[in-house]
Each structure stands twice: as structure tokens, then as C-alpha cells.
A and B are shown apart, each in its own frame.
Chain A
Amino acid sequence: MKNPLDSLWGTVICGLILTLILHNVIAHALGG
């Protein structure tokens, strides 16, 4: 499997997915 960080857009998509995951973790922790 190719490393997504080798591609600029793979990097951006990974960043967006990580944002979504962390958003949900914090929203849950804040009781939202």
C-alpha cells in the first residue's frame, strides 16, 4: 500500500479525516 503522505492530496485528506475524528472525540468529551 502506498503511503498517503507521498501525495499532497493524500496528506490533505488524511488531515481532514484526523480533524473529523478529533472533532468527534472532543464533541463527545464536551457532551455535545
Chain B
Amino acid sequence: MDWVPAISRWIHFMAGVMWIGLLYYFNFVNVAAAKAAAADGTGAGISKHVVPRALFWFRWGAVVTWLAGASLLSRHFLDAFLFLNKAYYPIGIGAWLGTIMLFNVWVLIWPNQKKILGMVQATDEEKNKARRVGFLASRTNTMLSIPMLYFMAAGGHSALFFG
């Protein structure tokens, strides 16, 4: 057994489920739940107790997923990211989509969520802008996750997907 790629693949899957599972929780469940809760005045518990915990595992799940994926590619990292080898074209697309999504998590979603949750100072106008930017970044990641997972599945199974 080749331990490093085997363990990297296992961790990549577990952390990926954590990351994308929470992304889908935010988009498929929490957006509608928070709206309904705000309407009947019960939203405070969600934003105080649920969202900060979910965001913690979400953003660090994203980092671990990316690092385990990079470890999995190891010496073929540039083959995938620079499309140097045809065998790595599908996983290259998946890797680029995952990288864009990681960027969105740390540069757009998390800094804006900190404003929304009151973890950093922000005016009401800044909070409203943060809500919109964070929401669209989260929806963009949901959209990108669909081809990203397709190309992750296709990586190593080119004959099945592109034969």
C-alpha cells in the first residue's frame, strides 16, 4: 500500500464532504430557513449558534480538501493545473474549479460573513453589501461545485466519461 496517496485520497474525500456538505446546507437549507426565521422573529439562534459553527468547519474543510488534493496530485500537480498531460485534463478542470471555490470561501464569503455576524465592525450599509456579496459568492460556489464534482468523478475514469 502506498500510504501517502491513499491517506491523502481518504482525507480529500472526508474534508470534501464536510466542505461541500456545509455549502449545500447553507444554500439548500439555511437561506430559506433564515428568511423564514427572520419573518417570525426566531432567527437569532441560527445566526448566533448555528452559522458561526457551520462556517468554522466549512472554511477549514475547504483548506484541508485543497491541501489533501494537492498532496494527492503530488508530482502531477503542474500536469493538472497547467494542462501539460492529457491524462490530467479532467482532474485539472476539477482542481481549478476547487481552487476558485477555495478563493471564494476565504476572500469573499468569510470576510463578508464576519461583517454580517458582527464579528467585525460594519455599518448597516456595509452589512447589506456584505450580505449580497457573500450570498452571490456562496451561490457561485454551489454552481461551480456541480462541474467540479463531475470532473473529480471523471479524474482517473476518462474512458467512462470521455471514451
A residues contacting B by CB (< 8 A) are: 3, 5-6, 8, 11-12, 14-16, 18-19, 22-23, 26-27, 29-30, 32
Q: Which of A6, A8, A15, A22 contacts B93 (CB 8 A)?
A: A22
Judge if B140 is at the interface, Cβ distance under 8 Å: yes
When A5-B136, A27-B162, A32-B163 are in contact, do A14 and B93 touch as well, CB less than 8 Å?
Answer: no
**Interface, chain B (partner A; CB < 8 A):** 27-28, 31, 86, 89-90, 93, 136, 139-140, 142-147, 150-151, 154, 158, 161-163
Give the residues in chain A near B143, CB-CB below 8 Å: 5, 11-12, 14-15, 18
Give the interface SS of chain A, mostly helix, strand, loop or mixed.
helix
Query: How many pairs of residues, A versus B, come closer than 8 Å at their CB atoms?
Result: 54
Q: Within the complex, what minimum Cβ distance (angstroms) separates B97 from chain A?
A: 9
Question: Is B158 a contact partner of A15 (Cβ separation < 8 A)?
Answer: no
| Chain A residues whose C-beta falls within 8 Å of the C-beta of B144 in the assembled complex | 15, 18
A14, A15, A32 pick with most chain B CB within 10 angstroms: A15
**Residue B139 contacts which of A5, A19, A22, A23 (CB distance < 8 angstroms)?**
A5
Tell me the smallest distance from the CB of B64 to a CB of chain A, in Å.
23
- CB A16 to nearest CB in B, in angstroms, measures 6
| Chain B residues near A8 (CB-CB < 8 A) | 27-28, 31
